[in-house]
């Protein structure tokens, strides 16, 4: 294969990345230390009622943080985090009231809070995040959750205390000042851990899900599972906060699990600045403390004051207080300093994809039909494509080419027929499982993850092969040779730190191709892989594809309109017309045939 | 002498801190087809967006038929009979083919007339007026966008990569349609293109953009134009 691309730029890039990470780590350590010092000193200087208010605010802020991760980073708007807080609250209330308080029961209540929250979260995740569920549907489920929990509490009679809740139970013999430090330290720890997580390579996956969830599926990521586990983790944090809250207050009431509280959390996050972590934390603390203050000093006016303030904040800073403050600190610039660039390392090419021995058939399509309502788009498609074959799919616009690729990449798409990849039927598997069978699909329209950089995008595409770290950012990016060659051919290797939204149309197309190759597929489906590229760039990409087919035994199916390009690279051509295969043969047989001239390429050439 | 349909007077623009287009000067006469070429990432789309008012201009001036439109917002510019066809799909996916056309061309007689003229090149459009635009294939959506732009009888059409994703026979017919529209209505056209053969067939003049600056320009009919363009695009 080609020479190893040890670019001169790689070293400084790695150094830059390392430096950026050190600055990040230093900021985290310094920030946490200052926050902990403040928490330790707080009780010495603050009046008692303020200490009490802040304990509550610390715990609320931890829950607001989970809302920010779900909504701000992952795009799941949730009103249900209060329910998990409520599970923690009632684990304490019920066990301490009915069983009494001692060390064992305290531990039991803690276990009940955490396990109960996880079980409910997994159930909600299963209901809300199944393949194909809309974001609105998920939000509705999270809204229903606290309503159901509250109803259960209301109907629990004396056991749950119904609408008046439970009080008067014994709890930990801990001073208020100590609780202040415990709750404060808990908030600092949760914030620091979350901060590390969202900045890690895995955290970038969350942003990718927010930006374009279906695309993530086609990169082999099981989005439903990721979201469900994320919800479970957030539920644990919320229920621990609830556990602490009930232990301090020694009062539990259904309001703490209700959807009003759940909605307030969303408002706090929006005002603080979604997707910033620190914004929602500071926002929650400010709002909760000022609410307590105002409701004491002006018992009739305070709600009006708070409401007007909210409106003013939204008008002045639609993104919330956090981003506004950050922009002021940066001197007016909207975006932060250029993202760090990892060092690119070529990796040895994997052995040709494993599959059924000797069969040679990578893709078998038989009797595939696809209907959109009354419209029959594919009408009985049969063909077999072998490893090492570069098969071009040509045909008039609207012949069903893209639909056929979609049917191969998503088991849920076709209306009838069977598709076998590497000897295994794709059955009704969702896209991420088809990726697992070896299918990689490049889309016609490049719509990727606008907010991420080129390097982050490729890392996510490679996440199926190379699991991203949950807490750190890798300084290197290991890439298969083919991916590297696509990046170099199109100049993207010089723009690894550029955000995707700033790329040109042609560069986005090339990035799409690089992403699909990062999946290391054995059956590669390419929808117009060279659209928007110039002739010389096309030729180079064409060579890369031919190499992949020959040296890696890949089966490549591509849709292409440029017949010169088709002629240069394909080993076989299938012509699709009105949902049927009308020709299937070698380049020479097909491209110059009378049929193709009539239905497709036109008279003169 | 009539004023140019579109005139750019040393225009610069870009995103954030980055200047993507530098000191570009162009003039397109009424009824002229002008092609803007260049490798990708050289600022072609940015230039179109600047003309349409989607990006703020840094310096310079933009005039349409002699009137200054430099500081106008996009909807005002669109009302001056400019039709813009972006690269990204810009159809209303949930509306039918007919509804999509009706939004751009309110006058029914004109729409019927447009359907008759353009239906010859894009026969699927009159045949499938009731179909939801979102269910058309990628290439069909592109054709509908072009038909919509031409039907609105604009003075100036801006098209980003008109040939991308279209089958060869349609591209050939498209060249004839663009020329016919120009003859019939005197429409000026600014085409951003990668497809050199198409440009050579349809355009009157061309300019090549490189790193945001015009590095070559001339008449397509000139003997040296083809090799010069090909060379510019391969470096």
Residues of chain A with C-beta less than 8 angstroms from the C-beta of B45: 504-505
Which residues, in sequence order, are CB contacts of A429 under 8 Å at separation 6+?
A: A411, A412, A437
Of how many residues is chain A composed?
605
Which residues, in sequence order, are CB contacts of A322 under 8 Å at separation 6+?
A: A272, A273, A276, A278, A279, A280, A282, A283
Question: What average pLDDT does this structure show over A428-453?
Answer: 87
Superfamily for the A362-447+521-601 domain: P-loop containing nucleotide triphosphate hydrolases (3.40.50.300)
Which residue in chain B is spatially nearest to A394 when comparing CA positions?
Answer: B167
Residue A3 pLDDT greater than 60, yes or no? no
Which residue in chain B is spatially nearest to A335 when comparing CA positions?
Answer: B16
| CB count in 10 Å sphere of residue B119 | 14
Residue A335 pLDDT greater than 90, yes or no? no
**Quick one: pLDDT at residue B217?**
92
> Does A506 sit within 8 Å of B172, measured CB to CB?
no
Question: What average pLDDT does this structure show over A245-267?
Answer: 93
Backbone torsion region of residue A354, taken as left when φ is above 0, otherwise alpha when ψ lies between -120 and 50, otherwise beta: beta
Residues of chain B with C-beta less than 8 angstroms from the C-beta of A413: none
pLDDT over 90 percentage in chain A = 50
Angle of CA points A216, A217, A220, to nearest 5°: 95
C-alpha span between A500 and A447 (Å, rounded):
9
SS3 content of chain B, % helix, strand, coil (to 5): 40, 30, 35
Cα–Cα separations (whole angstroms), residue A290 to A35, A57, A249, A287, A316:
20, 10, 20, 5, 19
> Does B172 sit within 8 Å of A397, measured CB to CB?
no
Residues of chain A with C-beta less than 8 angstroms from the C-beta of B139: 397-398, 561
Q: Which residue has the tokens 């002006």?
A: A298
Which residues, in sequence order, are CB contacts of A63 under 8 Å at separation 6+?
A: A81, A82, A84, A85, A237, A238, A241, A265
> Does A335 sit within 8 Å of B136, measured CB to CB?
no
Of how many residues is chain B composed?
235
Residue A208 pLDDT greater than 60, yes or no? yes
Question: What average pLDDT does this structure show over A45-64?
Answer: 92
Strand partners of residue B61: B9
> Phi and psi (nearest 5°) for A414?
-75, 155
Cα–Cα separations (whole angstroms), residue A99 to A106, A170, A364:
10, 10, 64
C-alpha span between A550 and B168 (Å, rounded):
28
Which residues, in sequence order, are CB contacts of B215 under 8 Å at separation 6+?
A: B208, B209, B232
C-alpha span between B199 and B162 (Å, rounded):
11
- Classify A19 as helix, strand or coil: helix
Could you tell me the pLDDT band of residue A358, with boundaries at 50, 70 and 90?
A: very low
A45-59, A108-122, A281-295, A337-351: least confident range: A337-351
Q: Where are the domains of chain A?
A: 14-330, 362-447+521-601
| CB count in 10 Å sphere of residue A496 | 23
**Quick one: pLDDT at residue A604?**
47
**Quick one: pLDDT at residue B17?**
74
CB A523 within 8 A of CB A439: yes
Rg (CA), chain A: 29
> Does A504 sit within 8 Å of B137, measured CB to CB?
no
> Does A535 sit within 8 Å of B164, measured CB to CB?
no
Rounded to an integer, what is the distance from CA B80 to the centroid of its chain?
A: 15
Q: Which of A447, A502, A504 to mutate to test the interface with B (most CBs of B within 10 A)?
A: A504
Residue A12 pLDDT greater than 80, yes or no? no
Residues of chain B with C-beta less than 8 angstroms from the C-beta of A498: none
> Nearest CB to A600: which of B89, B136, B168?
B168
A163-177, A455-469, A527-541: least confident range: A527-541
Q: Shortest CA distance to B170 belongs to which of A31, A600, A87?
A: A600
Mean pLDDT of chain A: 87
C-alpha span between A155 and A158 (Å, rounded):
9
H helix and E strand count, chain B: 9, 10
Rounded to an integer, what is the distance from CA A92 to the centroid of its chain?
A: 34
Cα–Cα separations (whole angstroms), residue A376 to A373, A415, B139:
8, 10, 18
> Does B16 sit within 8 Å of A397, measured CB to CB?
no
Dig out the tokens for A389 from the structure.
């074959």
Could you tell me the pLDDT band of residue A350, with boundaries at 50, 70 and 90?
A: low
> Nearest CB to B194: which of A372, A502, A534?
A534
Going by the DSSP 8-state scheme, the letter that residue A69 receives in this structure is I
C-alpha span between A518 and A17 (Å, rounded):
22
| CB count in 10 Å sphere of residue A16 | 17
**Quick one: pLDDT at residue A529?**
84
**Quick one: pLDDT at residue A6?**
41
CATH of domain A14-330: 1.10.3470
Q: What domains appear along chain B, each with residue ranges and CATH number?
A: 6-81+154-234 (3.40.50.300), 89-152 (no CATH)
Going by the DSSP 8-state scheme, the letter that residue A29 receives in this structure is H
Could you tell me the pLDDT band of residue A4, with boundaries at 50, 70 and 90?
A: very low
C-alpha span between B163 and A119 (Å, rounded):
54
Instruction: Give the side-chain half-sphere CA count within 13 A for B28.
Output: 29
- Of A360 and A205, more confident: A205
Dig out the tokens for B43 from the structure.
């600022």
Kindly give the residue spans of alpha helices, DSSP state H, lying in A276-417: 278-297, 302-316, 321-330, 401-409
A366-380, A510-524, A576-590, B85-99: least confident range: B85-99
> Does A502 sit within 8 Å of B15, measured CB to CB?
yes
CB A172 within 8 A of CB A51: no
**Quick one: pLDDT at residue B235?**
65
Taking the CA of residue A125 and the nearest CA in chain B, the distance in Å comes to 30
CB A533 within 8 A of CB A513: no
**Quick one: pLDDT at residue A9?**
41
- Tell me if domain A14-330 and domain A362-447+521-601 are identical in fold: no
> Nearest CB to A561: which of B16, B124, B167?
B167
Q: pTM score, two decimals?
A: 0.83
**Quick one: pLDDT at residue A339?**
62
**Quick one: pLDDT at residue A17?**
56
**Quick one: pLDDT at residue A7?**
41
> Does B124 sit within 8 Å of A398, measured CB to CB?
yes
Residues of chain B with C-beta less than 8 angstroms from the C-beta of A534: 39-40, 194, 233-234
**Quick one: pLDDT at residue A551?**
84
Q: Which residue has the tokens 């994809």?
A: A353
> Nearest CB to B165: which of A531, A534, A603?
A531
> Does B137 sit within 8 Å of A402, measured CB to CB?
yes
Give the pLDDT of chain B (235 residues) as one tens digit per residue: 688 999 999 999 988 778 889 999 999 999 999 999 988 778 888 899 899 888 889 999 999 989 999 888 888 888 887 888 877 668 888 899 999 999 888 888 888 888 888 888 888 899 989 988 888 888 888 889 888 888 887 889 998 888 888 888 888 888 888 998 899 888 999 999 888 889 999 999 999 999 889 999 999 988 888 888 888 887 6
- A488-501: pLDDT as tens digits: 888 888 889 888 88
**Rounded (10°) angle between helices A259-272 and A321-330:** 10
ipTM reported for the complex, 2 dp: 0.78
Dig out the tokens for B177 from the structure.
């349609």
Q: Which of A506, A600, A601 to mutate to test the interface with B (most CBs of B within 10 A)?
A: A506
Tell me which residues of chain A have a C-beta less than 8 Å from any C-beta of chain B: 333-335, 372, 375, 395-403, 444-445, 447, 490-491, 502-507, 527-528, 531-537, 561, 563, 600-605
Strand partners of residue A440: A524
Dig out the tokens for A124 from the structure.
């909600």
């Amino acid at each position: 294969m080609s020479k190893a691309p040890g670019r001169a730029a790689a070293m400084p890039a790695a150094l830059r990345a390392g430096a950026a990470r050190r600055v990040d780590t230093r900021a985290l350590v310094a920030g946490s230390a200052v926050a902990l010092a403040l928490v330790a000193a707080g009780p010495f200087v603050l009046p008692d009622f303020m200490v009490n208010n802040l304990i509550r605010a610390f715990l609320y802020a931890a829950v607001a943080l989970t809302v920010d991760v779900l909504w701000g980073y992952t795009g799941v708007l949730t009103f249900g985090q209060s329910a998990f807080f409520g599970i923690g609250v009632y684990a304490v209330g019920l066990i301490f009231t009915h069983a009494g308080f001692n060390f064992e029961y305290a531990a039991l209540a803690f276990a009940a809070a955490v396990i109960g929250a996880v079980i409910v979260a997994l159930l909600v995740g299963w209901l809300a995040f199944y393949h194909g569920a809309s974001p609105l549907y998920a939000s509705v489920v999270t809204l229903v959750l606290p309503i159901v929990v509250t109803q259960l509490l209301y109907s629990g009679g004396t056991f749950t205390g119904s609408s008046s809740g439970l009080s008067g139970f014994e709890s930990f013999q801990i001073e208020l000042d100590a609780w202040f430090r415990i709750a404060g330290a808990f908030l600092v720890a949760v914030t620091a851990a979350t901060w590390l997580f969202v900045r890690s390579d895995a955290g970038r996956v969350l942003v990718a899900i927010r930006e374009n969830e279906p695309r993530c599926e086609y990169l082999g990521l099981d989005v439903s599972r990721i979201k469900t586990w994320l919800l479970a983790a957030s539920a644990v944090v919320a229920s621990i906060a609830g556990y602490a809250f009930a232990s301090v207050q020694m009062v539990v009431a259904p309001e703490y699990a209700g959807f009003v509280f759940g909605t307030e959390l969303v408002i706090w996050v929006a005002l603080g600045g979604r997707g910033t972590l620190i914004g929602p934390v500071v926002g929650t603390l400010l709002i909760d403390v000022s609410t307590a203050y105002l409701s004491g000093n002006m018992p009739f006016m305070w709600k009006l004051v708070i409401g007007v303030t909210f409106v003013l904040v939204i008008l002045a800073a639609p993104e919330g207080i956090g981003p506004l403050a950050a922009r002021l600190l940066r001197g007016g610039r909207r975006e932060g300093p250029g993202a760090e660039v990892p060092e690119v390392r070529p990796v040895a090419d994997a052995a040709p994809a494993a599959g059924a021995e000797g069969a040679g058939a990578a893709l078998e399509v038989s009797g595939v039909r696809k209907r959109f309502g009354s419209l029959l788009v594919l009408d009985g498609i049969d063909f077999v494509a072998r490893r090492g074959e570069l098969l071009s799919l040509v045909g008039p616009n609207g012949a069903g080419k893209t639909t056929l690729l979609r049917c191969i990449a998503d088991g849920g798409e076709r209306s009838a027929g069977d598709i076998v990849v590497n000897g295994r039927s794709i059955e009704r598997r969702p896209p991420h499982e088809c990726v697992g069978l070896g299918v990689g699909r490049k889309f016609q329209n490049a719509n990727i993850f606008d907010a991420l950089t080129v390097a982050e995008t490729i890392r996510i595409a490679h996440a199926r092969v190379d699991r991203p770290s949950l807490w750190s950012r890798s300084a290197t990016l290991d890439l298969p040779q083919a991916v590297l060659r696509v990046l170099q051919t199109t100049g993207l290797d010089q723009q690894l730190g550029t955000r995707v939204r700033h790329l040109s149309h042609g560069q986005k197309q090339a990035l799409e191709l690089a992403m699909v190759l990062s999946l290391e597929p054995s059956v590669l489906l390419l929808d117009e892989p060279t659209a928007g590229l110039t002739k010389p760039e096309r030729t180079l990409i064409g060579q890369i594809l031919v190499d992949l087919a020959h040296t890696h035994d890949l089966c490549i199916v591509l849709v292409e309109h440029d017949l010169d390009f088709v002629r240069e690279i394909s080993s076989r051509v299938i012509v699709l017309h009105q949902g049927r295969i009308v020709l299937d043969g070698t380049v020479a047989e097909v491209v110059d045939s009378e049929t193709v001239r009539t239905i497709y390429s036109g008279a003169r050439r | 002498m009539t004023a140019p349909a579109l005139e750019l007077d040393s225009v610069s623009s870009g995103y954030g801190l980055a200047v993507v287009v530098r000191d570009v000067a162009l003039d397109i006469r009424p009824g002229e087809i002008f092609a803007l070429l260049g490798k990708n990432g050289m600022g072609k789309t940015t230039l179109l967006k600047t003309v349409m008012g989607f990006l703020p201009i840094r310096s310079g001036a933009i005039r349409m038929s002699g009137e200054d439109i430099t500081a106008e917002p996009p909807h005002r510019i669109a009302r001056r009979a400019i039709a813009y066809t972006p690269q990204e799909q810009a159809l209303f996916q949930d509306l039918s083919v007919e509804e999509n056309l009706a939004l751009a061309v309110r006058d029914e007689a004109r729409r019927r007339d447009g359907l008759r003229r353009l239906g010859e090149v894009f026969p699927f459009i009159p045949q499938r007026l009731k179909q939801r635009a979102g269910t058309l294939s990628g290439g069909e959506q592109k054709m509908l966008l072009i038909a919509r732009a031409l039907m609105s009888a604009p003075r100036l059409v801006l098209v980003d990569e008109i040939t991308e994703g279209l089958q060869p026979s349609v591209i050939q017919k498209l060249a004839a349609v663009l020329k016919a529209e120009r003859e019939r209505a005197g429409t000026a056209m600014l085409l951003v293109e990668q497809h050199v053969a198409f440009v050579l067939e349809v355009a009157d003049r061309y300019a090549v953009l490189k790193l945001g600056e015009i590095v070559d320009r001339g008449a397509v009919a000139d003997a040296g134009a083809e090799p010069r363009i090909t060379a510019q695009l391969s470096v």
